[in-house]
Amino acid sequence: MRRPPRTAALALMAGLALLATNCSPSPSATVATTVSEASGSAAEGPPNIVIITADDLGYGDLASYGHPNIRTPHLDRMAREGQRWTSFYAQAPVCSPSRAALLTGRVHLRSGMFGRRTAVFFPDSLTGLPATEVTLAEALRDQGYATGIVGKWHLGHLPEYLPTRHGFDSWFGIPYSNDMDWHLPEGMANRTAYFAPEMDYWHVPIMRNEEEVERPADQSTLTDRYAQEAVTFIESHQDQPFFLYLPHTMPHMPLFRSEPFEGHSTAGTYGDVIEEVDSAVGRVLETLERLELAANTLVVFTSDNGPWTSFETHGGSAGPLRHGKGTTFEGGMRVPAIFWWPGTIEPGVIQDIGSAMDLFTTSITLAGGVVPADRPIDGVDISPVLFGTGMTPRDSMAYYRMGELFAFRQGPYKVHFVTEGRYGLPPARTEHDPPLLFDLRVDPGERYDISTEQPTTVAALVEAAARYEANMTIAEPLFDLRGG
Ligand code: MG
């Protein structure tokens, strides 16, 4: 069922776009026209927002990003009909800080979502995302949205930190990573378990709202059940604006897929898993179209960090980028990002720098809201790029690891102050003074250090990074607080 026109909301949206982007009046007027015409009628009210993430999916793992034999027809279609971004970044190279930044629009240091010794939340963590943070779910609920999360949370498993305490009306999914709470047979090595996983090696619970409903989770059916839950959520809220956050558990190791997807791909178990995630995306798109909601729904697909390359043939690929998950090389944080909103998004391939934090600010702006004014917000409004009316105001990216600034990008250039591999992979930790310099236009794989040829560029980036750090507020690191 289509919603009645709400021209007032459209006018408000256009006005906010003007405020948020600080553009001259004419581009914003263009935005309003684009939205109105694209909807096929006058505005249908604020758009629904659907943010789908994969876990540890690499830059090179989708067909539309160049994978030669993993088939992702639904994501390819989103890319073809919408925008495919090639310089979009998760805000951190591992799960918990990345998710915190996406949901708060803030660098994870500001919310204490990091550790000096611990990289993410664990089942013995004593804390979670602080109640003082304003999540995207809370902000959109304030705008009248129904809010639901289907998938992995990983921002604190204790009751006071659950999604239902952070603005989500409902939750179906797991509280932390699918390789936590180990229960291995005596003598079995962790790596053996990862490569030949069984359901009861990890006693990860499935939660519905605040109740544990299954433990250990039958992970082989997780992707399928997430898709069904997402469809049900959309069907249940088709008559009001909704925000659906769908953070898939896969393809985080250990890999599981449902029976119909065993041997589905020619790219091994990893390929099967990605093809099932793609199928789940297709079910969301099909539901939106069946309910005639697609013209008023922004769907975003991205990943929380790069591929876990230490698992070799069982892990993903960063494509042309260097290294993967856990590192501040491009492969650790630059991820696929596809935006779909048929009739409204100007289709294309976008090279602008984007951040998962921008999803926060952009979504709230599209909903007719304003981002919290009582704290620094690092996300920017990228709707002018989506609508084809302007460029993003973002021109830099900071790369933190364990609370330390390892690298900094401004425009096409990136300096590394510290480089270090992860999960036993080289290179060993090395501090660089002067920092390494890469030109990501001609060297996205970060192979050719040009710092000696371009000392003035190095100096400019060092100064920009220093300015950035001077403006960063750093809260107490909460990941290190763990129980016995
Ligand atoms: Mg991850």
DSSP secondary structure code for residue 160 in this structure: G
Q: How far is the CA of 442 from the centre of ligand 1 (A)?
A: 28
pTM for this entry: 0.92
Please tell me the predicted confidence (pLDDT) of residue 484: 63
pLDDT in tens, 273-315: 999 999 999 999 999 999 999 999 999 999 999 999 999 999 9
The identity of residue 421, as a single letter, is G
Please tell me the predicted confidence (pLDDT) of residue 148: 98
- The distance in angstroms from the start CA to the end CA of the chain is 53
Q: How far is the CA of 23 from the centre of ligand 1 (A)?
A: 36
CATH number of 24-394: 3.40.720.10
Please tell me the predicted confidence (pLDDT) of residue 41: 36
pLDDT in tens, 115-148: 999 999 999 999 999 999 999 999 999 999 999 9
Question: Given 95, 166, 264, 314, which residue is catalytic?
Answer: 95
Phi and psi for 432 in degrees, rounded to 5? -120, 120
Q: How far is the CA of 133 from the centre of ligand 1 (A)?
A: 21
How far apart are alpha carbons 192 and 186 in whole angstroms? 12
Residues of the chain with pLDDT under 50: 1-43
Q: How far is the CA of 330 from the centre of ligand 1 (A)?
A: 15
The percent of the chain in helix, strand and coil, each rounded to the nearest 5, is 35, 20, 50
Does the active-site annotation cover 95? yes
How far apart are alpha carbons 55 and 302 in whole angstroms? 9
Domain 398-480 belongs in CATH node 3.30.70.2190:
no
Does the active-site annotation cover 23? no
Residue extents of the structural domains in the chain: 24-394, 398-480
Question: Given 67, 154, 237, 323, which residue is catalytic?
Answer: 154
Q: How far is the CA of 325 from the centre of ligand 1 (A)?
A: 8
